Amino acid sequence: MADIVILDGQDIGQAHRATSAILGVVLAEHGTTFDRWVVLNALATGAFPPERARLVPGLAGALATGPTAVEAMLDQAEAAGLARIVSAPGGDPGAVRVELTAAGRAQHGTLRSAIDHVADELHSGIPEADLAAAHRVLAEVTLRADGWMTLWAATRPAVPAR
């Protein structure tokens, strides 16, 4: 009887590495970067609230980076004409929004189509039920890992300053 293969971190890491490499090629072929794609996709899909004060920490958490890096990504998207900053009526700084321009929506659409095409090729021939099961398992693993990290960060001893 054959050994049962169990999904582990190495499997997840290898799939991430392989698909990230493909994403990098697709983005480069369209003259953009991963950071720019993340900004375009977040704004196009509403993955995070568009208020800059909420968008920045949301993207920082998702990308495991700091708010300064996200602010730079947003500034670059604005400088490229792909996003715009919309001031709130009355000047409320907490309500300043970031939204895509027509050029940003067009670029997102082009990139989304290219990425979807590659994903369709990668998933071709894999039964939908298997893809759905993989999605559920990976979503649950992600949820548990995020919870573990939150608990670990809350309970670890403070490191003394040097």
Question: What are the b/e assignments for 107-119, b being 16+ CB within 10 Å?
Answer: bbeebeeebeeee
Residue-level pLDDT at 32: 94
- How far apart CA 30 and CA 24 sit, in angstroms, is 10
State both tokens at 62: 């998702």
Task: Give me the percent of the chain exceeding a pLDDT of 70.
Answer: 96
* Ranges in the chain, pLDDT < 70: 1, 93, 161-162
Q: What one-character-per-residue DSSP string does 18-64 give? A: HHHHHHHHHHHHTT--HHHHHHHHHHHHTSS-SBHHHHHHHHHHHHT
Rounded distance between C-alpha atoms, residue 95 and residue 112, angstroms:
28
Mean confidence (pLDDT) of the chain: 91
| pLDDT given at position 158 | 73
Instruction: Report the pLDDT value the prediction gives residue 161, as an integer from 0 to 100.
Output: 67
